[in-house]
Amino acid sequence: MIENLQPQQAWDLLQNRAGSVLIDVRTKMEHSFVGHPPGAIHVPWKEAPDWQLNPQFIAQVIAVAPNRESPILLLCRSGQRSLDAAKALEAQGYQWLVNIVDGFEGPLDANHHRGNLGGWRFQGLPWQQS
């Protein structure tokens, strides 16, 4: 089952449920330079510049989160790549998947800027840059 949680709900789950794993599925550049939650494990779903699916995604997730019954929270820029990644993990038998709605940066505003309407950073949750 895939749950959709707001960033604050996801943070609360991470704080209160031992064994929870937060996986950042964005590109290496996004993870490093835009920022990421502390403790987020970077496993890209797709990678620039060609945006091809990461053929090692499932194997890399299994390596960092072998327990398919523990909560696996997935984060991307705005919530779409993380949902696609969650569907792929569901097909591999993961049972508690969480898509973080609005992702790290949130949706585009009227000026086509992210970070002003929602997302992890907008909610004031902990984050860092590399």
Domain containing residue 60: CATH number: 3.40.250.10
Check: pTM over 0.85? Answer yes or no.
yes
Q: 3-state DSSP call for residue 33?
A: helix
8 pLDDT more than 90: yes
Per-residue model confidence (pLDDT) at position 120 = 97
Q: 3-state DSSP call for residue 72?
A: strand
* Containing structural domain, residue 96: 2-100
User: Mean pLDDT over residues 104-108, rounded?
Assistant: 94
pLDDT-derived band at 38, boundaries 50, 70, 90: very high
d(CA 71, CA 61): 12
82 pLDDT more than 90: yes
H or E segment and range at residue 123:
none
Per-residue model confidence (pLDDT) at position 72 = 98
Residue-wise pLDDT tens digits, 27-37: 999 999 999 99
Per-residue model confidence (pLDDT) at position 48 = 82
Domain membership flag for residue 108: no
Percent of the chain exceeding pLDDT 90 equals: 94
pLDDT-derived band at 49, boundaries 50, 70, 90: confident
40 pLDDT more than 90: yes
Angle between helices 57-64 and 80-91 (to 10 degrees): 80
Tokens at 17, concatenated:
């449920």
Based on the structure, what is the number of domains in the chain? 1
Domain membership flag for residue 45: yes
Domain membership flag for residue 105: no
Domain membership flag for residue 115: no
Domain membership flag for residue 95: yes
The C-alpha torsion from 40 through 44 and 45 to 46, rounded to 10°, is 150
| Measured CA distances, 98 to 22, 56, 64, 84 (Å) | 9, 20, 16, 11
Per-residue model confidence (pLDDT) at position 130 = 82
Domain membership flag for residue 59: yes
d(CA 45, CA 52): 8
